[in-house]
Amino acid sequence: MRRIAWSPKSIRVFKRIVRQNPQLRPLIEQTLQQLAEDAFHPSLRTHKLTGNLSGIWACSIDYSYRVLFEFVDEEATILLLNLGSHDEVY
């Protein structure tokens, strides 16, 4: 199981999302738990990004919301970079 680390930006965005959409909190927490257990579980639809976001990975919270992250410490830790809708994070 990998450790989840939060960047300052991801903490701010998480708080904002939960304040605006409290019903998303359990879904986000469930997604992060699954990410820590198996980052490539099919339900997450994990994929590597290209272009300006090369080297960063993304997974789905639901149809609209995504999590952007990086593997660090030889993939033992996942650093959350950003959360939000598709248009906000890309």
Confidence check: pLDDT of 74 > 90? no
Buried b / exposed e along 47-66 (16+ C-beta atoms within 10 A): eeeeeeeeebbbbbbeeebb
- On whether the CB atoms of residues 57 and 80 are closer than 8 A, the answer is no
Q: What's the pTM?
A: 0.93
Confidence check: pLDDT of 47 > 80? yes
At residue 73, the pLDDT reads 86
**Closest residue by Cα to residue 68 from 79, 26, 20:** 79
At residue 40, the pLDDT reads 96
For the segment 12-43, what is each residue's pLDDT rounded down to a tens digit?
Answer: 999 999 999 999 999 999 999 999 999 999 99
Q: What one-letter code names the amino acid at 35?
A: L
